[in-house]
Homo-oligomer: A and B are copies of this chain.
Amino acid sequence: MSSKAPIEKVLSRIDADIDTSVERLMELMRIPSISTDPAYKDDTAKAADWLVKELTELGFDASVRPTKGHPMVVAHHRAEGPHILFYGHYDVQPVDPLKLWDRDPFDPAIEDTAAGKVIRGRGAADDKGQLMTFIEACRAYKAETGTLPGNLTLFFEGEEESGSPSMIPYLEAHGDELKCDLALICDTGLFESRTPAITTMLRGLAKVEFTVKAAKRDLHSGMYGGLAQNPIRVLTRILGGLFDAHGACVVPGFYDDVDELPDEVRAQWQALAFDHASFLGDVGLSVPAGEEGRTPLEMIWSRPTAEINGIWGGYTGAGFKTVLPSEASAKVSFRLVSRQDPKKILSAFHDWIAAQLPEDCELVWSEPEGSAASTMAISNPAFEAARQALTEEWGVPAAYVGCGGSIPIAGFFQNLLGMDTMLIGFGRDDDQIHSPNEKYDLACYHHGIRSWARILDRIGG
């Protein structure tokens, strides 16, 4: 790209067109593409169609690719130079509890806040705003030069927020079309909301929903209370014992495949001087609640977790119902690190629960899913080139960081397609992704677009 258009011209074009770039993002955000909820199936498809239309207008050879679930979007622009794949996801998280939103989650708007202008609405940061940074960088380049910036394949998924059930079969079937020299993924954030970052460690994720069943129907506690088994009692007793007094998960073998952090990584993380008091203070907390003896960055980047993400049973409506329910359920997930195997972890968790079930109780185990952790190949020179581009754009030295979240696609690109994968994103810690009132800072969107222009200038064709 550097041989074709001066980067300054492209950056100026991005600055001049930022208002229309925002308007295009909000158009995409107005489509409620909640992939996990079948009620939004058509809307999710509509978001895919919208992307194909935009990319086709930009000159990509773009199309919707059906799967058994939500469709993929694939767009190619063939040119000289290294073949680069860019990945993002166009689906979003559910929006409940809706009453905690200050506005319709799918009627986005620019809002003035004490910290600057933000784009407010579901998907603003995760991941519609992030994927649009790349598209808008391409658009600015096209506007200046009449062509697209390099040998590019764009690959957008609509099932990231619902476990990506179609991804592995799709990559297995279309690996030849998608395998590139380097993959870029834009679904991560800045470090501590201010330092540009390339994520080099990702935790994996294993998750399962299960139900403890006892009596064949709900019972009246006046009639049966004290005599009959109560599944909520069983569930709370078992899950209440998931951690020891030091905050460690007690599932047998849970830490068997967890490596200690290499000394050099530990030193680099210490140099980042993570301000956990402010990180927690922003959400109303003050005390690290994880494993004793671990630093806060270890807790979120390099240690595995067990979390109860949802629990329900009995009467939960208004008023009171003195019922002994016939069943109680929970959704539990584990963030995985190092060599932890999702299947092995979920199987150990299942057995640990089953061994504690009293008589008359049954365990119904459903929807186990998982992906392992991954570590990036930062020896690829593209990493250092991108780090320099980010440092130039943000005026702060870019950092190699870990990420507590799970972006299974990075592992798939590495393991199924053999691609080196670079994770760069522009989210902030207070973006409230997966929560009410999600937002993306206008400055992050703008610098994000400019960042991709600079990165493509250094690593592109």
Contact = CB atoms under 8 A, between A and B. Distances in A.
A163 to B, nearest CB: 6
Copies in the complex: 2
A242 B308 CA distance: 19
B432 A308 contact: no
A96 B403 CA distance: 42
Contacts of A203: 222
Interface string A280-322: 1001111111110000100110011101111111111111111
B226 A283 contact: no
Contacts of A331: 314-316, 320-321
Contacts of A433: 220, 223
A269 B270 CA distance: 70
Contact of A287 (B222, B224, B328, B360): B360
Interface residues of A, number: 99
A209 B335 contact: no
Given A239-B236, A242-B233, A323-B434, A225 B287 contact: no
Interface stretch (A8-16, A177-185, A210-218, A344-352): A210-218
Contacts of A93: 321
A451 interface: no
Interface of A: 36-38, 93-94, 96, 100, 162-163, 203, 205, 207, 209, 214-230, 232-233, 235-243, 276, 279-280, 283-291, 296, 299-300, 303-305, 307-325, 328-329, 331, 333, 335, 358-360, 367, 369, 403-406, 429, 432-437
Given A38-B318, A310-B321, 20 more contacts: A100-B217, A205-B322, A220-B435, A221-B309, A222-B403, A222-B405, A223-B404, A224-B283, A226-B299, A227-B276, A227-B279, A227-B300, A230-B308, A233-B242, A236-B242, A310-B323, A310-B325, A312-B312, A312-B313, A320-B369
